[in-house]
Amino acid sequence: MRRSTLSTLTLACLLAWTAAPGPAAAQPTERVRVASRYDFSTTLTRLEQAVAANRLGVVTRANAQNGARSLGVAISGNQVWGLFAPPYAVRMLKASVEAGFEAPVRLYIVEAADGRVTVSYIKPSVVFAPYRNAELDAMARELDGKFERIVAAIR
């Protein structure tokens, strides 16, 4: 009987642990999705300009089209950009070294088969919320505004 109770308790703890969202576990429903009124190339150009105008940088760029092209496969536009800037990195790390896992904050730019382009992201305030840190929360709210202004460039 004791062994059964321990096994049940162990299983319950394991399930609770694996079901509990970690700091990076924002749900897809929390994504902001914005339809671009431009083609893929123009959307990228306008986003780059808006990123710079908001004093952020594209610090990472995953380009699925180039990867597919290297295999001899053509796919629609698909890129993931990581946006951040040194002043935010310093603030973030001062507030929480653990939160460094979340940077840079990503934009996902996708072209559908019919040519429509969508940009999505998880608000920085959602990304950093699990750390429960007032300094991070303030920084993330600033970044929320920047991300809103960046995607406004494609509406």
CB 151 within 8 A of CB 121: yes
Does residue 22 lie in a domain region?
Answer: no
Pick the closest to residue 34 from 97, 102, 121, 126 (CA basis). Answer: 121
Does residue 140 lie in a domain region?
Answer: yes
φ, ψ for residue 18 (rounded to 5)? Answer: -75, -25
Q: Which residue has the tokens 């920085």?
A: 124
**pLDDT single digits (tens) 77-101:** 999 999 999 999 999 999 999 999 9
**The domain containing residue 147 runs over which residues?**
29-152
Does residue 54 lie in a domain region?
Answer: yes
- CATH number, domain with residue 115: 3.30.310.70
Q: Say how many domains are in the chain.
A: 1
Pairing of strands 78-84, 57-63: antiparallel
**pLDDT single digits (tens) 97-119:** 999 999 999 999 999 999 999 99
Does residue 47 lie in a domain region?
Answer: yes
Does residue 43 lie in a domain region?
Answer: yes
This prediction has a pTM of 0.81
